[in-house]
Structure 1
């Protein structure tokens, strides 16, 4: 696999019923403040993350699946629990146990849903078993249960608190930057592949105040790992639209099981396929192809892949459309990336898909 940052180159489908207004045994206090904290990029990649043994985790009901490939993106959450003023490590451990209990006993999952949890005091704990080992390896990813449609692709980070109207604490933000830098460095994730839960699913998570910080988070991470931190921006397509963007959407929907004719017309069949896909991935079901639909539909494609998504790439590049990503397609992707000022690695990631859509 190419280096995804440098020029060398079904799962548990739902994860969140809100944890509720009580944590889980802790008394919360909503903090005031109108300005979010800022931080300088971390100067070290060394992180202290308490493993599942350290905080007294229960054994998982069954062994989590570990994929022999790296994570592709990072998704940021908030726990939607009270904004505790207990910043101790002991509280962070209590939080980790409470979340695991809720996910296993209430949601019926095999283990904690997310990979890592960050307390308001800046303490990091491993969530799902084996997440820390996978992170350390840089080449493995634990199938999780934090974002419907993305659990085989993305690292999930739960941030303690509720950030709809309350500012995100500076200590917590600093540690979030540090963790994201380390994850991007280990897995080769680009900073523009840092998202909020609401970018994929019908939810308010991670809260308006924390979500508004994601642009700054990407920039602070990029200051350490390099690259362009600008988030991708998708077109909004609707019934009645026609053209190449609709054709690309139809290919991508077929990649996920639809059987559409590739005619470039957003008619009733395409609208139904969009709604069905949105429903299956936990996105807002409105029949319109917007941010959540595109984020769920696109998948990284590279040499060796095949299928309708590759056909979409080939059609947009003007190469032979055979659905097989071989050397000719890779060369065309590299030329396209070079011409658009993108990272030239031959991998069609979210940024390249965004540019292909025009």
Structure 2
């Protein structure tokens, strides 16, 4: 069942963003080009206390909860954009969870709370959407949420109580966020550098300027607990007038999402129009430039067995980097996997043959 939002402000008009949806939605390609594969962290993480929906009085979901047969590959951090309460009790946490669920079902038309998990200013962690705790404990499934347009098949979300535009989270709240994030990443095999703010994908100020500024620290703190490198992908911004293989890779990525642009390596009016159309379709900032937010939305993790235009982008870039993989045919076979591994070795990245955001960003740098 596809979930779409109701328009208009509410008490939890979180992230000041309209049109949020849990569905794959416009611009999202789900086909042979999609492979969700995460590298398992080296270390386990302590199990935090997470209060299930049955404990805080959740109403039954208004529709079927979609359980996807693969784990998420990203963790998104949100804020509720609501008052910074000084009631840190568990009872307040329960009431907050009920309020969010009521808003999301009755005012937004979703089947349940949009996010999988909620973290309060009192440092209480709660299950948001039904079955999210079940999926987390298993580690090999994902409950489709409704917290970030065009990313809900790939990302698990933590909703942090409060407004963090000018205020920072309480120390206790932040410590609990590290603990919960580390456990989620360890269970699902999400690397620390795949922790994002909502604004990294959609046109929104979520999770607030102060909390967003703390994400590098959060990634580092999570990496300390589960291992790995916390450095996120460093995308190169491309704009009108640019030329070369990086532009061709962008054009292939746009074609993977349905654009009819020609992959000629020239960022002309046709490419700019395709970028704007794509940005609008995924509710990203519409500026006609392919910056980090646009690249984040364009990229779908690729591995052996993937196929399509996005694979051509990888193959073309590997050839341009002096790592010959043969014909640019869009089939991610043994030669392409070997080329990706060679490139990852040179870049001193984890060598797994999977093209995640960091690998593609370095390829196109």
Q: Same fold (TM over 0.5)?
A: yes
**Distance (whole Å) between structure 1 residues aligned to residue 62 and residue 331 of structure 2:** 40
More displaced stretch, 72-81 vs 53-62 = 53-62
Q: Shift of the alpha carbon at 1:20? A: 3.5
**Distance (whole Å) between structure 2 residues aligned to residue 16 and residue 110 of structure 1:** 16
Q: Shift of the alpha carbon at 1:17? A: 6.8
More displaced stretch, 264-273 vs 204-213 = 264-273
**Distance (whole Å) between structure 1 residues aligned to residue 111 and residue 344 of structure 2:** 41
2:118 counterpart SS class = strand
More displaced stretch, 242-251 vs 76-85 = 242-251
Moved over 3 A (4+): 10-23
Deviations 1:180-219 (A, max 9, x none): 1111111111100000000001110000000000000000
Partner residue, 1:28: none
**Distance (whole Å) between structure 1 residues aligned to residue 344 and residue 13 of structure 2:** 49
**Distance (whole Å) between structure 1 residues aligned to residue 311 and residue 4 of structure 2:** 25
**Distance (whole Å) between structure 2 residues aligned to residue 160 and residue 114 of structure 1:** 12
Q: 1:1-358 alignment to 2 at 5 Å?
A: 12=3, 19-20=10-11, 45-318=46-319, 319=325, 320-358=327-365
Q: Shift of the alpha carbon at 1:19? A: 4.7
**Distance (whole Å) between structure 1 residues aligned to residue 156 and residue 6 of structure 2:** 13
**Distance (whole Å) between structure 2 residues aligned to residue 205 and residue 246 of structure 1:** 30
Q: Please report the RMSD computed on the Cα atoms of aligned residues, expressed in angstroms.
A: 1.9
Q: Shift of the alpha carbon at 1:12? A: 3.8
Q: Shift of the alpha carbon at 1:148? A: 0.5
Task: Name the TM-score, length of structure 1 as normaliser.
Answer: 0.89
Deviations 1:28-79 (A, max 9, x none): xxxxxxxxxxxxxx99511111111111111111111111001010000000
Partner residue, 1:27: none
Deviations 1:92-139 (A, max 9, x none): 010000000111111111110000000000001111111111111111
Task: Name the TM-score, length of structure 2 as normaliser.
Answer: 0.87
Q: Point out where structure 1 has 5 or more consecutive residues left out of the alignment.
A: 1-9, 24-41
1:145 counterpart SS class = coil
**Distance (whole Å) between structure 1 residues aligned to residue 309 and residue 252 of structure 2:** 5
Q: Shift of the alpha carbon at 1:260? A: 1.4
**Distance (whole Å) between structure 1 residues aligned to residue 8 and residue 360 of structure 2:** 32
Question: 1:245 touches 1:264 (CA, 8 Å); kept in 2?
Answer: yes
Question: 2:101 touches 2:113 (CA, 8 Å); kept in 1?
Answer: yes
Shift of the 11–179 alpha-carbon distance from structure 1 to 2, 3 Å rule, reads farther
